[in-house]
Copies of this chain bind each other. A is one copy, B any other.
Amino acid sequence: MDLTSYLQERKSLIEAELTRSLKDSEIPKTLRQAMTYSLEAGGKRLRPILTLAGAEAVGGSLENVLPIAVALEMIHTFSLIHDDLPAMDDDDLRRGKPTNHKVFGEAVAILAGDALLAEAFLMMTKRKDSIPADRFMEVIHDIAIASGARGMTGGQVIDMEATGHEISEQSVEAIHRHKTGKLLTVSVVVGAKLSGASSLHLNALQKYGEAIGLAFQIADDILDLEGTEEEIGKDVRSDVSNAKATYPSIFGLEGARAKAKKLVDDAIGALETFDERAEPLRLLAHYIIERRK
C-alpha cells in the first residue's frame, strides 16, 4: 500500500467536506471568510485521517464517520487560531501564511475560533440513521472531554504556566498528553466507536492513540529544533526562544528520537489483534515521526 497516495486521497475527501460545510449564507460573510481562511490553510489533516483510518480498521463506512472526522479538524483549527493570538503565542506565521489575526484582526480571529468550535459540535449532530443516536452521544461526550478543560484547552493553560520554568519529564508528558495527545487519541477512537467496534478493539485503539499522540509531539519538538523556516512554515526555534518545555531539552536529540521510535513500536504492537484493514494505522504510526513538515 502506498501511503503517499492514500494520504492524498483522504485529504481530498476531507477538504471537500470542510469546504462544503461552510458554504452557508446564514454565516455572516467576514466570519465565514475568517473561518474558511484557516480551515483551508492546508495542514496534514492528521486528525480526520486518523478518524477515517480508525473506522476502516474495524470495517466501518468512511461516509458515516466523515462529519465527525471533519469536526475534529475544525477543533484543531480553532485551537491553532487561538494559540497564535497576541495574548497567547503571538505568532505571525502559520504554515507559511499570515496567522488569522494578522489578516482579520484580533476580534474576528477570536470569534472565528469560537465559531469553529461550535461548528464542530454542529457537524457531530449530522447523524446517519443507520447509526444509533446513543453512539453519537458517546462520541460527542468523548470529544468534549478531549477538547475542553480536561483536555486540549486545559493543556494550553498548563503549558503556559510551565513556560520559563525548569520542568520534569513527567510534567512535559502531562502537558503534551493534554495539549495534543487527548485530541489525537480521541480522533483514532471515535471513528471506530461510531462504527460499532468491540471494547477490545476500542481499548487497543486507545493505546495506539496515546502512543502516537506522544510520539507526534516529540517529533514536533525535534522538527522545531532542527527544521528550517521553509520546512515548517513558522519561526524556527520559537519554542526555544519562548523557553517551552520540550523532549529534546530533557533527553537530548538522540534520546528524544529513541523515545519516539519506541512509542511507534508500542503503537503498532497495540494493533496486533487487528487484520490487514489496520495497515493504514500502522503506516501512519511510522509517518508521524518521519514526516518532514
Residues of A within 8 A of B (CB): 22, 24, 26-28, 30-32, 35, 78, 82, 85, 87-88, 105-108, 110-111, 113-115, 117-119, 121-122, 124-125, 127, 132-134, 136-138, 140-141, 144-145, 147-150, 153-154, 156-158, 160-161
Contacts and interface: CB of A to CB of B under 8 A. Distances in A.
A243 B117 CA distance: 30
Contact of A153 (B111, B138, B144): B111
Given A133-B132, A133-B133, A114 B32 contact: no
B154 A115 contact: yes
A156 to B, nearest CB: 6
Given A28-B157, A115-B148, A140-B125, A107 B133 contact: no
B32 A111 contact: no
A105 B106 CA distance: 16
Contacts of A124: 140
A287 to B, nearest CB: 29
Interface centre among A30, A118, A121 (most CB of B within 10 A): A118
Contacts of A107: 85, 87-88, 160
- Tell me whether chain A's interface is mostly helix, strand or loop, or mixed: helix
7 contacts: A31-B154, A111-B153, A113-B114, A115-B148, A119-B148, A121-B121, A125-B144
Interface centre among A127, A138, A154 (most CB of B within 10 A): A154
B110 A88 contact: yes
Contacts of A35: 149
Contact of A115 (B110, B121, B134, B149): B149
A55 to B, nearest CB: 19
Contact of A150 (B24, B85, B111, B154): B24
A22 B148 CA distance: 12
Given A31-B157, A118-B149, 12 more contacts: A26-B150, A27-B149, A28-B154, A28-B158, A85-B107, A87-B107, A107-B160, A110-B110, A114-B148, A122-B145, A125-B140, A133-B134
A228 to B, nearest CB: 29
A127 B144 CA distance: 14
Nearest to A159: B28
Contact of A28 (B31, B111, B127, B149): B149
A152 to B, nearest CB: 8
Contact of A31 (B22, B26, B144, B153): B153
A24 B153 CA distance: 15
A119 B144 contact: yes
Contacts of A117: 114, 117-118, 148
Nearest to A108: B157
B27 A115 contact: no
